[in-house]
Structure 1
Amino acid sequence: MKITMIILSLFSLVSLSACAFKENKASELETLASNYGGIYIFDKKIREEILENERKRRELEDTDKFRTKAGQLKSGELIYTIDSEAIDKLLPQVLSNGCKYYRNDYNYDVDDPDYDFNFDDKPEFAYYEDQFKAYMGEENYKKLRPYLGMTTYYVCEGKKYPIVFATMIDYKVKSYGLFGDEGRGFSFSSISRKSAGGGSFHYFTNGKFIKSDEKYTGQSY
């Protein structure tokens, strides 16, 4: 009985130490995520032009001229179909410089080829990765290993120009202690998956990123 109590006490000490390690590790990454997570905008002027054009397009979608009643839900809410082709003709997704822009409605879509943007697969974007590394610091960049979703870009003469990137930071934390039960067996370590991210806007200004006081609260970006 005495030996069992000693063993349990040792396990408790290991578990407490593991928790402290886990919290410190998570705290470090969460702090970095708070500093560097969020929305990265390479061209503020073009981004604002896109947002304004999209605002006008949404206004058209709400007019009777461009929508047709398609049904009604049990709750009484009406369902409409939008004449997207007519809106595209009247207000195309084209910039004042004549280049077409694209966006993914700000959703992380695992089927989107630009989701989880991997610079290693796109050497033509090495310049943009260099800007992230210069801003975060290469060591922090490696620690965070941020998922970079290119949400907005435009194309001119076949070349793609990123405008907005959204970050999502996912990492694993290994904890040490006594885990499991008699049925599935015991283990002295456990790996849990965590996600962290900040809500700030970072604007590329005069050749470098600058963190803005503006916070992302779920609105279009």
Structure 2
Amino acid sequence: MTDLTGRTVLIAGATSASGLAATRALTSAGARVVATGRSPEKLAPLAALGAHVETVDHSDERAVVELSRRLHSRGVSIDGLLHLVGGWRGGGGLAGQTEDDYRALEASFSALRHLSRAFDDDVRTSPAGRLAVVSSTAVARPLAGGANYAAVKAATEAWTRAVAQGYAKAAREAGEPLRAAAVIFRVSSLAGLEDRLATAYAELWGSDASELNDSILELQQKG
């Protein structure tokens, strides 16, 4: 595992099994973890692992901006952002893709937009910034019963690639080497991949940003 001593990572949507695995892996590697979610009760196990926890509704832009201000007022700057806000709704073919389902899924994309903007300066100017999102193989092969889900994930990937271009452009205009990278992890399902995702994210710091930025990394079950 890459030594992450001195790095601060914000895990958004940390109350899932993937968030727990990422918190465990990152703290074990020496990172300071800021774990965020909507439920104080569900954040408690992450605090027990040594994470600093913050209750926030990621889909609320003002709440996310206030989170960034609160952390900055304490002298906390983010080196990494792992976006785990998400969920699944689908089935029933194209006719079964309801507007309510889409709006529920869209909250994940809204959260990404709010978080990446609020912490853009942090990650972009970090000596080694790493932003990562979890997408789906459904983007490459969308199905009618998962059209809402695939559309939101496709938007997530497009936004993340735009973030990557912003990192590259800022470094180029400053005449400096690229130190920040935005990465997309694609999975068919996160079930059983929680530890692999955690390790893969931590290991991003072991590679050069220029090799990682604007990349799509597919995670699959072993065997």
TM-score by length of 2: 0.24
Structure with the greater alpha carbon radius of gyration: 1
Higher helix share: 2
Higher strand share: 1
Greater relative CO, 1 or 2 (CA 8 Å, sep 6+) = 1
